Structure 1
């Protein structure tokens, strides 16, 4: 929770099952570390239990969703480079992809970084949330000019 990697390392060495324990708000340690940008703790948790790539919080968000929502580019890079399929995980309640979350939370650098990965294709760029909005619709509604320009530069738009 505080990003103290040496303490986290000692703790999971003693109790590795803590990697899969939720806190009182329904978050796993990987969610808190990703959300706060604690890259060393994220790396440690992934080494201890690679299955944490697939855990979701009480709102059905993955650790990648939280990193994107908070603009944690270093964490995003680590998570996506290790498991590209996590880019396709949607937030079930809204149907939003990680690209929708970049736009919704106005994280241009995260959007640019994600655009460089092979897994970002026309289908992901043009994916619609449950309201039928693509990332371009969302950026336009939020009047995010820079994000609109980046989004329009994708090959499919």
Structure 2
């Protein structure tokens, strides 16, 4: 039986005049996302798209969602297989392709999880569990781009 969960986010943006050439209208891209019971997220476009480089952008948040979800899925499959994870780090990267018409999309994400486990004899199994974690990851299952894993594991 499938279960459905509803997630809500509220966006708030107000036009702020920005000086540009008289024939060009440009908008500041800074806005807020509110999720009930949580701190407000201040967001902008990426610096490459004339956003505020000091704020998170949608691409940052997409990559963060994917790397976080993969870790949680990985911890779950490790617990199911009796593997004691001591630490988990990842230096994830996403490649955004922008076309001449201004459209674009993420074309690939590379995850580089570095996992430390307690049991040396389970290192090979721990490495293989990244595939299972990817199959379970809610965010990975929602993506239409390639997700590549380059895991390492030590004890």
Which TM class, normalised by the smaller chain length? under 0.3
| Structure with the larger strand share | 2
- TM-score normalised by L of structure 2: 0.27
